[in-house]
Structure 1
Amino acid sequence: MGTKSGLKTRIAALAVVAGSLALACPAAPAHADDEGRRHGRPAAVGGPRLSRPGVQVRPTARAPHLPPNLSGLSWVVADAGTGQVLASKDAHRRLPPASTLKTLFAVTVLPRLPQQVLRKVSEADLADVGEGSSRVGVQAGHSYTVADLWRGVFLSSGNDAVHALAAMNGSMRTTIAQMRARARSLGAYDTRVVSADGYDAPGQVSSAYDLTLIARAGLARPDFVHYASTRYARFPTGRKADGRANGTFAIQNTNRLLVGAPGLERYRGLIGVKNGYTSHAGNTLVVAARRGGRTLLATVMNPQSGSYNAVYHEAKSLLDWGFKASGKVSAVGTLHRDRAAAAARAVRRPVHDDPATAVSQASAATVPRDRPPTAWYVSVAGTLVVGSTAWTLYARRRSLGSREY
């Protein structure tokens, strides 16, 4: 690998991320490092093994075999508590993320908007929602609370809700810039944000490693856990000036491991997180589950088997394997530390074995069912990136006409 380009920014980044000493590792695929070198990203983020091609696992003699049905182009299974990556395949491979990118949107914008603020959505707010996008049913000229819109994002994967929230956050352009900064603060250097909602856009990519990092940051927030765990809700057709709903309709979470589907049972202990699909990205899924005092994360990107619900079955298999492999495998890497959350001294709250209990605790403490909390800490991501240069704002995305959810 060349070392002349971006040398100064790499040195500065290495001063922050101690131990990333494999800059010249011949096993690291070029696609995992080219973009990062231009932006001060240390090589082999999470450890050198994660940059190697193919399946990475370090079993003991007593360890269970990895599931045989794994056809995803990239996947990761990790311990959310310790940050250890238990096994992976092409963890840093950059692929279109589809709506799993909404997890980055959430960890970026949740702290910025008070949940009970009421906004009248305009035609301009919804003008750039891509053709074929999933929608929850946000209507121009109608008013919604921030909490309404977050339910639309997490349950219905509504791109219309994302655009309304981005408008409340200043603009879509501002929100995308904030998401890029938040990705850098997390160490999600494989991620390039072009559309905040995950809609297919030229150059927009993430990786199984990055999506796992982002989901782990989300689990540190009770409001994120609350929305990601919610299976069913009522969405308003609009609200009056006093906040009362004009009417409501039922919405259901599109994460099939959370709600179940024909031939696919609800996964015991599932906390939720986010699924996605576009015709370009294929199926993508990030899930978290807790059993026996451990919380695991599994990310699967674009299964190739062609079988029905493959992304859910493969994520389920990885979670099952991860719980059985506890204490029987050595880590193949680690999840990068969230510097912004550490600097803001965000308090991690425990998540119980039963997702309903997790939501109940979060509700009692800070997230009432119908009144999620106001923003309680401010992201300082931009100030914590040492040696990184500002990412160039990419051109306005072109509609690709893909189906998306």
Structure 2
Amino acid sequence: MPAQNKTTRRSLLVTSAVLSSLALAAPAAVAAPKPSDSPSASASPSATPPASMSSVGGARLGRPGTQANLAGGVPALPKDVSARSWIVADAESGEVLAAHNAHWRLAPASTLKMLFADTLLPKFPRDAKHKVVPADMAGIGAGSSMVGIKEEETYSVHDLWLGVFLRSGNDAVHVLSAMNGGVENTVKDMNEHAEELQALDTHVVSPDGYDAEGQVSSAYDLTLFARSGLQKKDFREYCSTVSAKFPGQTKKGKKGKPVRESFEIQNTNRLLAGDSDVPVYQGIAGVKNGNTTNAGATFTGVAERGGKVLLVTVMNPEKPEHNEVYKETARLFDWGFKAAGKVQPVGELVPPKGAEEAKPGANPSGEAGGSGDGGSGTAGTGSKPVASAPAADGSSGIGTALGIAGGVLVLLAGGAFLVNRRWPLPDLVRRRTRP
């Protein structure tokens, strides 16, 4: 479609005082095949949440049922949300505006790939090349979602990450895992990174999110993964890309010369790419969807509207409607944008352990020193996002805009409106279409 052949490179400005609100025209919906990570479940989830769950982020988040402070002036929560677990949070401040069974440990499906990406993105330059050997593809579960990687072909790390984010390709995950020393080592790294992020509901068994005995996460933890990943420029780029060209298989062309053509892949995030019954959500910028028999449909999304950036995670809607996980996410986004600034939070998204050790003078945007276009996609030091450091005058130290929209640098007028926003999301892009 014409609207999808144009690259939208609008940057979302996140400053300590104001977010630049950018208009987004929603293109026509585009259908995409339903992703699937596995054809069968390893175990059925429990019918009800535990009476007591983790209290990370606040005591109320450990209680079963819906947690929200619906005082006067706060809009009512949507009644038609059937998900087993969900959460609505402010991506900047970390305030949890409302939640339902936030710490219920459930199968995560491919939303677990957010943790995979947040863990491995810093390790390999995006222009690095890798030739796929049969061992790289070993152990991929039957019925896995695939991007179409072929053995004996060479791919760039950039190609592989497009396969992970757009097509939820378990084949791309396994190739990147092989580059990281294998699946076992990657699982170890992911579990260690989850602990660093204080995502204590999560236990990784398979790095691609394929149903596996004992593999669990929670709406709270998935939201932590998204918030951490969004500190990385490459993560933001990949999760906001609507469509891209992916290398195909090398074939003999005219006169016997080898020719390698490419094919188009499209993001299976319906709020980003649209579908017949789901329009593109205004202000959407990612993040990741998933679907397995055990997990049902899962999704974490980030969107900006009216100077607010929200994260919403929805796990396993019970209603059997087509694209229900996206419809319920959209309703929770709508509520969150109306309630933001009015509702008292019920908890918070905790920073990682390493954030408390961030030294004054650290880059408050969470970006590495370079542009990230040819780098590793790191944020701050290693794979750990960096919290904003206090400035000498006691402000947040980010008195200028952290992004550029339309080539115009937005400067704050004076310091009276400075607030100490934690975990800024610098120049978060929205709906990027790659040539």
Taking structure 1 as the reference length, the TM-score comes to 0.76
Aligned residue in 1 for 2:192: 181
Aligned residue in 2 for 1:286: 300
Aligned residue in 2 for 1:251: 265
Superposed displacement of residue 256, structure 1: 0.2
Letter matched to residue 320 of structure 1: D
Q: Is 2:180 the partner of 1:166?
A: no
2:371 to 359, 366, 372: 366
Aligned residue in 2 for 1:316: 330
Superposed displacement of residue 185, structure 1: 0.6
Map 1:188-203 → 2, pairs under 5 A: 188-203=199-214
- Structure 2 CA distance for partners of 1:107 and 1:57, relative to 1, 3 Å: same
Superposed displacement of residue 132, structure 1: 0.2
How far, CA to CA, are the matches of 1:87 and 1:245 in structure 2? 53
Superposed displacement of residue 271, structure 1: 0.7
How far, CA to CA, are the matches of 1:323 and 1:239 in structure 2? 48
Superposed displacement of residue 293, structure 1: 2.0
Aligned residue in 2 for 1:11: none
Asked if 1 retains the 8 angstrom alpha-carbon contact of 2:103 and 2:218, the reply is yes
Aligned residue in 2 for 1:267: 281
Letter matched to residue 223 of structure 1: D
- Structure 2 CA distance for partners of 1:199 and 1:317, relative to 1, 3 Å: same
Which secondary structure state, in structure 2, belongs to the residue aligned with residue 73 of structure 1? strand
How far, CA to CA, are the matches of 1:311 and 1:223 in structure 2? 26
Which secondary structure state, in structure 2, belongs to the residue aligned with residue 103 of structure 1? helix
Superposed displacement of residue 292, structure 1: 1.9
Query: What is the aligned-residue identity percentage?
Result: 51
Deviations 1:316-351 (A, max 9, x none): 01111000001211000000112335646774649x
Deviations 1:293-328 (A, max 9, x none): 211000000000111111000000111100000121
- Structure 2 CA distance for partners of 1:378 and 1:161, relative to 1, 3 Å: same
Q: Is 2:64 the partner of 1:50?
A: no
Asked if 2 retains the 8 angstrom alpha-carbon contact of 1:31 and 1:94, the reply is no
Map 1:129-140 → 2, pairs under 5 A: 129-140=140-151
Superposed displacement of residue 246, structure 1: 2.2
1:74 to 79, 82, 85: 85
How far, CA to CA, are the matches of 1:171 and 1:347 in structure 2? 33
Aligned residue in 1 for 2:225: 214
Aligned residue in 1 for 2:321: 307
Aligned residue in 2 for 1:298: 312
Moved more, 56-65 or 250-259: 56-65
- Structure 2 CA distance for partners of 1:343 and 1:236, relative to 1, 3 Å: farther
How far, CA to CA, are the matches of 2:355 and 2:248 in structure 1? 36
Which secondary structure state, in structure 1, belongs to the residue aligned with residue 68 of structure 2? strand
Asked if 2 retains the 8 angstrom alpha-carbon contact of 1:116 and 1:374, the reply is no
Letter matched to residue 340 of structure 1: G
How far, CA to CA, are the matches of 1:269 and 1:193 in structure 2? 31
Aligned residues: 327
Asked if 1 retains the 8 angstrom alpha-carbon contact of 2:118 and 2:229, the reply is yes
- Structure 2 CA distance for partners of 1:138 and 1:340, relative to 1, 3 Å: farther
Deviations 1:248-281 (A, max 9, x none): 1000000000011112110011011100000111
Letter matched to residue 97 of structure 1: P
Superposed displacement of residue 32, structure 1: 2.6
Superposed displacement of residue 159, structure 1: 0.2
Superposed displacement of residue 372, structure 1: 5.9
Identify, as 1 or 2, the structure richer in helix.
1
Aligned residue in 2 for 1:32: 53
Map 1:325-404 → 2, pairs under 5 A: 325-340=339-354, 343=357, 347=363, 349=365, 366-368=371-373, 371=374, 373=376, 375=378, 377-379=381-383
- Structure 2 CA distance for partners of 1:341 and 1:144, relative to 1, 3 Å: farther
Which secondary structure state, in structure 2, belongs to the residue aligned with residue 298 of structure 1? strand
Aligned residue in 1 for 2:71: 60
Q: Report the aligned-residue RMSD.
A: 2.4
Map 1:106-185 → 2, pairs under 5 A: 106-185=117-196
Superposed displacement of residue 113, structure 1: 1.1
Letter matched to residue 383 of structure 2: S
Asked if 1 retains the 8 angstrom alpha-carbon contact of 2:235 and 2:377, the reply is no
Superposed displacement of residue 367, structure 1: 4.1
Which secondary structure state, in structure 1, belongs to the residue aligned with residue 140 of structure 2? coil
Asked if 2 retains the 8 angstrom alpha-carbon contact of 1:191 and 1:206, the reply is yes
Q: Is 2:234 the partner of 1:223?
A: yes
Asked if 1 retains the 8 angstrom alpha-carbon contact of 2:89 and 2:311, the reply is yes
Superposed displacement of residue 375, structure 1: 4.7
How far, CA to CA, are the matches of 1:174 and 1:328 in structure 2? 45
- Structure 2 CA distance for partners of 1:347 and 1:135, relative to 1, 3 Å: farther
How far, CA to CA, are the matches of 1:135 and 1:347 in structure 2? 37
Which secondary structure state, in structure 1, belongs to the residue aligned with residue 271 of structure 2? helix
Asked if 2 retains the 8 angstrom alpha-carbon contact of 1:115 and 1:375, the reply is no
- Structure 2 CA distance for partners of 1:208 and 1:374, relative to 1, 3 Å: closer
How far, CA to CA, are the matches of 1:31 and 1:330 in structure 2? 23
Asked if 1 retains the 8 angstrom alpha-carbon contact of 2:298 and 2:315, the reply is yes
Which secondary structure state, in structure 2, belongs to the residue aligned with residue 202 of structure 1? coil
- Structure 2 CA distance for partners of 1:315 and 1:307, relative to 1, 3 Å: same
Letter matched to residue 280 of structure 2: R
Letter matched to residue 184 of structure 1: E
